[in-house]
Structure 1
Amino acid sequence: MNALPVLMLTQDAALWQAWQRIAGPQWLPARGQGLADLQRWKQQGRSLVVLDAALPQLPASGDAAWSGLLQDAKVLVLSNRPSDDEGRQLLAKGASGYAHAQSGAEVLAQMLQSLAGGNIWLGRSLLQRLLRDVDARLPEPGDHWAQALSPREQEVARYASLGESNAQIAERMSISERTVRAHLSAVFEKLQVEDRLMLALKVHGIGRPQPA
């Protein structure tokens, strides 16, 4: 398989040095330093982009101009000072992921793998907040999703769909975090979901979002 080209937009030399460590059989990093580079990248029919949230001339996170910038691309926005509010706004404008700029090459590769597969990537804090928002805004779900699960797996799935961490679930259920992880692995396999966000959508009866 050929390496996938990834545009890395930053004027920070240290970030560029850190991000390009993903280079290898799977990823082919290319550096950009401005929004003109993003437009050229899209015109070339390429889509994977890592964007430094501190890049000069970027609009405010709530600005409608983001929709045009993010259109026709899978953009992972990375910030040295990530905030849940900024992340929510950028995701609403079309970003495919939002996380910390210092996440490390191994995690960055995982993020890009997720985006390349048509999924989104969220940091833990933002994911938990979005899951709580989903639970607060939707009606009480049915339990058809739970039919294939054991009672303990159902309980773990419900807590996880509310955005609770493994430690919080373990404390609530008086079990170890290792047991929580084992239950979650079984839940993901039985429900054919890949992560907690998709689990929450399943629990609340929402179909899996399809990539544009």
Structure 2
Amino acid sequence: MLVLSMAPSEQEAMLALQSGARGYAHALLAPNLLQQAALVTANQGVWVPAELLNRVLGATYKGLGGAERVSQELLSELTERERAVAMAVAEGVSNKEVARRLNITERTVKAHLGAVFRKTGVRDRMQLLVKLAVQDERIV
């Protein structure tokens, strides 16, 4: 189920997801994005607004120990700019804010993020966060 709202809020999104919805979006979402949301949720994926996903990523990053618990081995495979983009994304920062912080365009951020995804073998921001997190040997 995909819940659509005319006045989306973080609280409503959390309630919808906790109630079993697979997605939550603004009712006036662009048609192509609405199709993507329907496809993702129909295939057991989860669709939430980018702002909410960024908040979840940032909270997860902090919960996993933040910068002190990042895989330095994995980061060493990236260029300096790719590392900066990867770390900002792990913190839950939007592409627009990453661009502002690094004084580059959003298109360049996306290009660096694409390179990070290829080099680390992940498909999205959440997978990147999990891959960057150093796992406790007792848990693995």
Common fold: TM-score over 0.5:
yes
Say if 1:104 and 1:177 are closer, same or farther in 2 by CA, change over 3 A: closer
Structure 2 CA distance, aligned partners of 1:145 and 1:89?
36
Structure 1 length-normalised TM:
0.55
Instruction: Describe the superposition over 1:167-188 as per-residue Cα deviations: whole angstroms up to 9, x where unpaired.
Output: 2112211222221111011112
Q: What is aligned with 1:123?
A: 49
Please say if residues 79 and 99 of structure 1, whose CA atoms lie closer than 8 Å, have aligned partners that are also in contact. Answer: yes
2:18 matches 1:92: yes
Counterpart pick for 1:133 among 49, 59, 62: 59
- What percentage of residue pairs aligned between the two structures are identical? 39
Structure 2 CA distance, aligned partners of 1:101 and 1:95?
15
Q: Which has the higher helix share?
A: 2
Say if 1:154 and 1:117 are closer, same or farther in 2 by CA, change over 3 A: farther
Q: Which has the larger radius of gyration?
A: 1
Q: What is aligned with 1:188?
A: 117
Counterpart pick for 1:199 among 128, 131, 134: 128
Say if 1:204 and 1:98 are closer, same or farther in 2 by CA, change over 3 A: farther
Q: What is aligned with 1:174?
A: 103
Q: For residues 1-212 of structure 1, what are the structure 2 equivalents within 5 Å?
A: 75-139=1-65, 140-143=68-71, 144-205=73-134
How many Å apart are 1:205 and its aligned residue? Answer: 4.9
Q: How many residues align?
A: 132
Stretches of structure 1 lacking an aligned partner (at least 5 in a row): 1-74, 207-212
Structure 2 length-normalised TM:
0.80
Structure 2 CA distance, aligned partners of 1:184 and 1:123?
19
Structure 2 CA distance, aligned partners of 1:76 and 1:119?
11
Q: Which has the higher strand share?
A: 1
Say if 1:88 and 1:113 are closer, same or farther in 2 by CA, change over 3 A: same
How many Å apart are 1:99 and its aligned residue? Answer: 1.0
Instruction: Describe the superposition over 1:105-156 as per-residue Cα deviations: whole angstroms up to 9, x where unpaired.
Output: 2111111222234321110121122122212322242314324322211110
Q: What is aligned with 2:138?
A: none
How many Å apart are 1:194 and its aligned residue? Answer: 2.5
Please say if residues 84 and 129 of structure 1, whose CA atoms lie closer than 8 Å, have aligned partners that are also in contact. Answer: no
Structure 2 CA distance, aligned partners of 1:190 and 1:120?
24
What is the one-letter code of the residue matched to 1:120? V
What is the one-letter code of the residue matched to 1:165? S
